[in-house]
């Protein structure tokens, strides 16, 4: 098939530890090409999950990290200047739609709302993407699916999805996995011992108790993996926790102290 999307194929099975029935649900959603929305705090495994599903479904995966400066053209494509004159270049969304990839818009709330509306025609039964400037209407490839992720923990009203966008998606809730599962993940990914991973997860649970009480967000699985990797490299565990967990998550000296102290209750 077309080589352009082959670079987006995932050749090796990504490690993903399923948490509940999310794999089966996603497969079912894909079978009807339902657009999916993965909700949950940052670093809890959403990206890893999509990678795994793309591998499992044998689809190329095109990931776009959304940000505030992104415009519709960044998704759809634009004319560029070339020696022959101008030349149209498909954006990631257009490539995915044309060639039947899964398009994953990570942290979609970061994009401005007038940008996100370009995905609407792809998310209803039309499954088309109008390239207005080029005067083309791309009919999505039958294998194409759109997946977005978003973190409902953001309190700001400025950063929320429009209802009209939200209602086009099926939703899967992601939270931090249960203690034992998260321990398994941290141990696997970081190379730290199971016992160490267990402590790291316990520390994370302490910080999640403080969410909304001085912390905007608790420690994520991703951060635990960083800390675990440092420890596996021989760094002293308390120092690793300081560097990889406590310092990054807060600037408030009192909070830092409380978290440092919570760390020492496990070592």
Partner 1 sequence: MSINLADYAELLEDLSPHSQEALKANWHEATKVFSPRGLDNYLKGAAAIRGLGKGDSLVETWIEEAPMVAKEVGEDVVGDLAAASLMLASRTSGAVIELLLATSATAANRLGDAELFLKYLQFINTLISQAPRGVRPMLDKLEVLFQQLTLGGLRRWALWGAHAHRTNYEEQIRYFSLDSKESLAMLQKERKGTLLVDVQRRINMYLRALWARDFFMRPTSGDFETREGYRPYIEDYLLHLPDAFDDFAPEDREPVSGLELYRATAAHCAAHVVETKHPISAEALNPMQMALISVIEDARVEALSIRRFPGLKQIWCKLHTATPDMNTSVGGYLNRLARALLDESYQDNDAWIIEARSLFALAQDRLDNNHTSWEVGVQLAHSLSQKRIAFNPRTDLLDAPYRDDNRYFWEFEEFDFNKAANAGYESVKQVRKYVSAIEMANEVDVENAGEDAEEVWVLDTELFPYENIGEESGGKSYNELEGKEPVSDPFHYSEWDYQIQLERPAWATVLEKRAKSGDLQIIEAITAQYKREIHRMKFLLDAMQPQGVQRIRRLEDGDEIDINAAIASFTDIRLGNQPDPRIMMRSVRKIRDFSILVLLDLSESTNEIVQDQDYSVLDLTRQACVLLADAISKVGDPFAIHGFCSDGRHDVEYIRFKDFDQHWNETPKAKLAGMTGQRSTRMGAAIRHAGHHLNLQRSSKKLLIVITDGEPADVDVRDPQYLRFDTKKAVEEVAKNGIVTYCMSLDPRADQYVSRIFGQKNYMVVDHVERLPEKLPLLYAGLTR
Ligand X SMILES: Nc1ncnc2c1ncn2[C@@H]1O[C@H](COP(=O)(O)OP(=O)(O)O)[C@@H](O)[C@H]1O
Give me the residues that bind ligand X (CB under 6 A), please.
15-17, 19, 40, 42-48, 177, 185, 189, 221-222, 225
Q: Which does 36 bind (CB under 5 to 8 A by kind): partner 1, ligand X, none?
A: none
Pull the structure tokens for residue 14: 């990504």
Shortest distance, CB of residue 10 to ligand X, whole angstroms? Answer: 14
Please provide the size of the chain in residues: 267
Q: Which of residues 7-66 bind partner 1 (CB under 8 A)?
A: none
Q: How far apart are CA 205 and CA 217, in angstroms?
A: 11
Give the Cβ contact number of residue 22 at 10 Å: 17
Structure tokens belonging to residue 65: 């990290």
Q: For the stretch 109-125, what's the b/e string if a residue is b when 16 or more beta carbons lie within 10 angstroms of its beta carbon?
A: bbbbeebbebbebbbee
77 binds, among ligand X, partner 1, none (CB under 5 to 8 A by kind): none
Selection from ligand X, partner 1, none that 44 binds (CB < 5 to 8 A by kind) is ligand X
Binding-site string for partner 1 from residue 122 to residue 151, where x marks contact by CB under 8 A and - marks none: -----------x------------------
Residue selected from 28, 68, 79, 236 as contacting partner 1 according to rule CB under 8 A: 79
**Are 147 and 36 within 8 A, CB to CB?**
yes
Count of C-beta atoms within a 10 Å radius of residue 17: 15
Task: State which of residues 142, 157, 163, 167 lies at the interface with partner 1 (CB under 8 A).
Answer: 157
The site string for partner 1 over 214-243 (x = CB under 8 A, - otherwise) reads x-----------------------------
Strands 145-150 and 170-173 turn out to be unpaired
Number of residues that bind partner 1 (CB under 8 A): 32
Phi and psi at 82, nearest 5°, equal: -140, 175
Query: Applying CB under 8 A, which of residues 3, 12, 125, 156 lies at the interface with partner 1?
Result: 156
Which DSSP string do the residues of 131-177 spell out, in sequence order?
Answer: ETTTTEEEEPPTT-EEEEEE-TT---TTS---HHHHTTSEEEE--PP
Closest CB 266 distance from partner 1, rounded Å? 5
Of the candidate spans 3-11, 15-23, 47-55, 156-164, the one that interacts with partner 1 by CB under 8 A turns out to be 156-164
Could you tell me the CA-to-CA distances from 238 to 1, 26, 189 in Å, in that order? Answer: 51, 39, 19
Which of 50/262 has CB closer to partner 1? 262
Residue 141 to residue 158: CA distance in whole angstroms = 34
Quick one: which segment of 48-56, 76-84, 99-107, 169-177 binds partner 1 (CB under 8 A)?
76-84
Residue 193 interacting entry, from partner 1, ligand X, none, C-beta within 5 to 8 Å by type: none
For ligand X, the closer CB: 44 or 76: 44
Q: Is 82 left (phi over 0), alpha (psi -120 to 50) or beta?
A: beta
Q: Which residues bind to partner 1, rule: CB under 8 A?
A: 71-73, 78-79, 81, 83, 85-86, 114, 133, 155-158, 206-207, 209-210, 213-214, 254-255, 257-259, 261-262, 264-267
């Amino acid at each position: 098939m077309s080589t352009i999307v082959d670079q987006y194929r995932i050749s090796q099975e990504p490690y993903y530890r399923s948490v509940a029935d999310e794999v089966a649900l996603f497969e079912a959603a894909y079978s009807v090409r339902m657009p999916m929305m993965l909700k949950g705090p940052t670093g809890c495994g959403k990206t890893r999950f999509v990678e795994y599903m793309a591998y499992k479904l044998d689809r190329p995966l095109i990931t776009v990290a959304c940000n505030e400066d992104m415009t519709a053209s960044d998704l759809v494509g634009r004319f560029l200047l070339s020696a022959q004159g101008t030349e149209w270049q498909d954006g990631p969304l257009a490539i995915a739609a044309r060639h039947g990839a899964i398009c994953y818009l990570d942290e979609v709330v970061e994009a401005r709302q007038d940008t996100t509306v370009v995905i609407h025609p792809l998310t209803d039964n039309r499954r088309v993407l109008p390239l207005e400037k080029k005067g083309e209407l791309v009919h999505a490839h039958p294998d194409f699916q759109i997946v977005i992720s978003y973190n409902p923990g953001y309190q700001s009203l400025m950063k929320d999805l429009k209802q009209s966008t939200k209602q086009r998606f099926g939703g899967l809730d992601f939270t931090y996995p249960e203690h034992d599962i998260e321990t398994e993940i941290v141990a696997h990914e970081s190379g730290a011992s199971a016992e160490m991973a267990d402590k790291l997860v316990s520390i994370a649970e302490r910080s999640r108790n403080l969410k909304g009480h001085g912390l905007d967000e608790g420690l994520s699985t991703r951060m635990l993996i960083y800390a675990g990797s440092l420890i596996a490299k021989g760094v002293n565990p308390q120092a690793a926790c300081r560097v990889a967990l406590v310092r990054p998550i807060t600037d408030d000296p009192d909070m830092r102290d409380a978290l440092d102290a919570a760390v020492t209750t496990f070592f």
